[in-house]
Amino acid sequence: MIVLDDDDKKILNAAQLDFPLGLRPFRELGESLGIDEDEVIKRLQRLQDLGAIRKIGPVINRSGVGGTSTLVAVSVPESRIEKVAALINEYNEVSHNYLRPGRYNIWFTLSAPDSQRIEQIISELGENTGLEFVNLPTERLFKIGVKFDIR
């Protein structure tokens, strides 16, 4: 596990939702936290190298760029989990994929330019695995705003 000091935590908390968009964003971010630009860059690079940050970039709104997304659940026998998860991951349209306990054990999100593509992927996966994939498209979105409270 990555050990964070107080300045790392301050930077990580601010860089999630309050990352400034400008020509010199790291200088601005530092100014808001009282840390100079070089130090912000050094720390962010280290945090990214260690995996505390996966990337700094745009969070794409699938429906805002012309497209749709869904959550899919499937019940996979224990012995086939690795293979089925790898098969699912092959699709670029898969943005998240998790193993969870319960009736359905693999849960993944699909995001594509249109619902036909989503249906095509689900039906291909069904044919290639013989498993039943349950499509649970968003009916209402109440919140999407991932911010981890790092403490």
Partner 1 sequence: MDEIDERIIILTQNGIPIKSSPFSDIAKEIGISEQEIVHRLERMISRGNIRRIGASIGHRDIGIIANAMCVWNVPDEKAEDIGIIMASFPEVTHCYQRPRAPGWDFNLFTMVHSYTREDCEEVAARISRTTGISEYKLLFSDREFKKTGVRL
- For position 2 contacting partner 1 by CB under 8 A, the verdict is yes
- For position 77 contacting partner 1 by CB under 8 A, the verdict is no
Q: Which is nearer to partner 1, 45 or 120 (CB)?
A: 45
- Each residue 32-71 as x (binds partner 1 by CB under 8 A) or -, in order, gives -----x---x--xx--x-xxxxxxxxxxxxx-xx---x-x
- For position 150 contacting partner 1 by CB under 8 A, the verdict is yes
The binder of partner 1 chosen from 35, 74, 76, 108 (CB under 8 A): 108
- For position 73 contacting partner 1 by CB under 8 A, the verdict is yes
Q: What are residue 117's phi and psi, to 5 degrees?
A: -65, -40
Q: What dihedral angle (degrees, nearest 10) is formed by the CA atoms of 118, 123, 128, 133?
A: 80
Q: Which is nearer to partner 1, 46 or 120 (CB)?
A: 46
Q: Indicate the pairing of strand 94-99 with strand 106-112.
A: antiparallel
Distance in angstroms (rounded) separating the CA atoms of residues 140 and 67: 15
Q: What are residue 123's phi and psi, to 5 degrees?
A: -75, -35
How many residues touch partner 1 (CB under 8 A)? 75
- For position 19 contacting partner 1 by CB under 8 A, the verdict is yes
Give the shortest CB-127-to-partner 1 separation in angstroms.
20
**Would you call 39 exposed, middle or buried from its count of C-beta atoms within 10 A (0-12, 13-18, 19+)?**
middle
